[in-house]
Amino acid sequence: MTNPVGSASLKPLYVDDETQRNALIEEARQLPSVEVSSAAAANAVMLGGGYFTPLTGYMNLADALSTAEDMHMVDGRFFPVPILNLVESITEIEGAERIALRDPNVDGNPVIAIQQVDTIEQVNDEQMALMTEKVYRTTDNEHPGVAAFNGHGRYAISGPIQVLNFSYFETDFPDTFRTAVQIRAEIEQRGWKRVVAFQTRNPMHLAHEELCHMAMERLGCDGLVIHMLLGKLKPGDIPADVRDNAIRTMVRLYFPENSAIVTGYGFDMLYAGPREAVLHAYFRQNMGASHFIIGRDHAGVGDYYGAFDAQTIFDTEVPADALEIEIFRADHTAWSNKLNRVVMMNEAPDHTKDDFVLLSGTRVREMLSEGIAPPKEFSRPEVAKILIDYYQSL
């Protein structure tokens, strides 16, 4: 199993000692508080679960700018993206040394964490634009990640945090949400030595399933961790509970026993393409994976990124010694009518486009909405049934 990034062991910030946690919950009632953004709450969940080891909390502005610039904090530690707590107003917390962070995603806005306030810094337009451009490779506000990032506020609160709960993820997805600590423990319990991780924010069609089988076989892996994003997506994406059901059904029916586990993590999608691919690799190493699948337009949106930018960034911008996890580079996969199986399209040079079963996302959504299952060469019928039921319920 791979070592955590920059640490001999995971450093989860969730306070698991019940007595200490209850004391902190009581303390939080007396502290000045601020309602944080959904992104900051998700950062707290990831910090709490050990995914962002060895960070101890939210970055200050100097570290955020340095990380955006070249994926290193001021002290030289590697990290792919700024991890910030940006708020719109500091009126209620000015002068406070410790503050309670209230969760915007749970009714009543309960406290998700307590933060020690090291600094409160105002981010100017130039600094915001620099971070946006470096992380998202665009400042276009039509980009959903750009719009979200620039809508969080301009006051950056830095400092260590103590996490008191995992927001709605643990309660809404009790069978799927897992911390990096829990996934490492399960990998060890199953006796897996080489583990490949697969990222998804969508249901898995046949091509995704076969890509996972290919990676496991070619890499000689004992196990696969299907690790789905459970946080906020852009409008039109399929909700996490529907994806969860579809993926679990696929694994139950089409993967050998003890070869794959279905898990999820509590984070809001950035749609940051190459930079988000590096972040995904970073926290997959922390959860114990030795390999990570990155395909075409990984974590992308629209036409903001080249098809393989999320792969080439590991050659051009990520230092060779920054990560232990290895990248499995995948091309688009599709059913070959010539070979009667799923192939990577770049491995079938004698094929034309017409030799593959290719359907656009728009066409698939139309078919599902009309109660029509995509062809079996595109989607497992059991998965299609779940998606048809969802689209017809809208």
Residues identified as active-site: 201-202
Vertex 39: Cα angle to 226 and 177 (nearest 5):
30
**Crossing angle of helices 125-136/61-70, nearest 10°?**
40
Contacts of 243 (CB under 8 A, 6+ apart): 200, 201, 202, 203, 228
- As a whole number of angstroms, the distance between CA 250 and CA 257 comes to 12
- As a whole number of angstroms, the distance between CA 13 and CA 57 comes to 8
Q: Is the dihedral of CA 19, 27, 56, 112 positive or negative?
A: positive
Contacts of 239 (CB under 8 A, 6+ apart): 390
- Total residue length of the chain: 394
Burial category of 254 from C-beta neighbours within 10 Å (exposed 0-12, middle 13-18, buried 19 and up): middle
Contact 119, 55 (CB under 8 A): no
Q: For residues 364-377, b (16+ Cβ closer than 10 Å) or e, as one string? A: beebbeeeebbeeb
